[in-house]
Amino acid sequence: MKKKHIITRRTALVTGITALGSYLLYRTVKSPQVPTYGSILRSGDNFTYEAQRALLSKRALVKEYSRSDISSFPATGTLDPGDEKSKTYNKDYALTHRNGFSDWKLSVEGRVARPGMYSLAALQSLPARTQITRHTCEEGWTAVGEWTGVQLSQLLLHVGIFPSARFVNFYAYDEYQDSIDMIDAFHPQTILAYGMNGRPLPIQHGAPLRLRVETQIGYKSMKYLRRMVVTDDYVDPGDSGWAWYTGI
Partner 1 sequence: MYNPWVKITHWIGTISFLFLVYTGIEILMVHPRLYWGDVGNDLTPALFELPISRNYHHNGWTTSQPFFNSTHSPVSAGRTYDIFNENGWGRSLHFLSAWVLVAVGLIYLLSGIYTRHFQRDLLPARKEMSFRSLARDMADHFKHGMAFVRGPNYGVLQKLSYCLVLFFLVPTIVLTGLTMSPAVAASHPWLLTIFFGAQSARTIHFFCAVLLILFLIVHVVMVVRSGFRKHMRAMTFGS
Q: Is 117 in the site for partner 1 (CB under 8 A)?
A: no
**Strand bridging mode 225-231 / 105-110:** parallel
Does position 73 interact with partner 1 (CB under 8 A)? The reply is: yes
Cβ atoms of 189 and 160 within 8 Å: the answer is no
Residue 116 lies near partner 1 (rule: CB under 8 A): no
For residue 216, state whether it binds partner 1 (rule: CB under 8 A). Answer: yes
DSSP 219: G
- Does 69 help bind partner 1 (rule: CB under 8 A)? yes
* Residue 73: exposure state from Cβ atoms within 10 A (0-12, 13-18, ≥19): middle
Residue 65 interacts with partner 1 (CB under 8 A): yes or no: yes
Q: Does residue 79 interact with partner 1 by CB under 8 A?
A: yes
The DSSP bridge pattern shows strands 225-231 and 167-172 to be antiparallel
Contact stretch for partner 1 (CB under 8 A) within 117-125, 169-177, 190-198, 230-238: 190-198
Torsion of CA 50, 186, 142, 148, to 10 degrees: 180
Q: Which helix (DSSP H) or strand (DSSP E) does residue 51 occupy? A: helix 40-55
Check residue 218 and report its DSSP letter. Answer: G
Size of the site for partner 1 (CB under 8 A): 56
CB 70 within 8 A of CB 47: no
Q: What x/- string results for residues 124 through 163 when contact with partner 1 is judged by CB under 8 A?
A: ----------x-xxxxxxxxx-------------------
Residue 204 interacting with partner 1 (CB under 8 A): yes
Where does this chain bind partner 1 (CB under 8 A)?
10, 13-14, 17, 21, 40-42, 44-45, 47-48, 52, 56-57, 60-63, 65, 69-76, 79, 134, 136-144, 196-199, 202, 204-205, 214-217, 240-243, 247-248
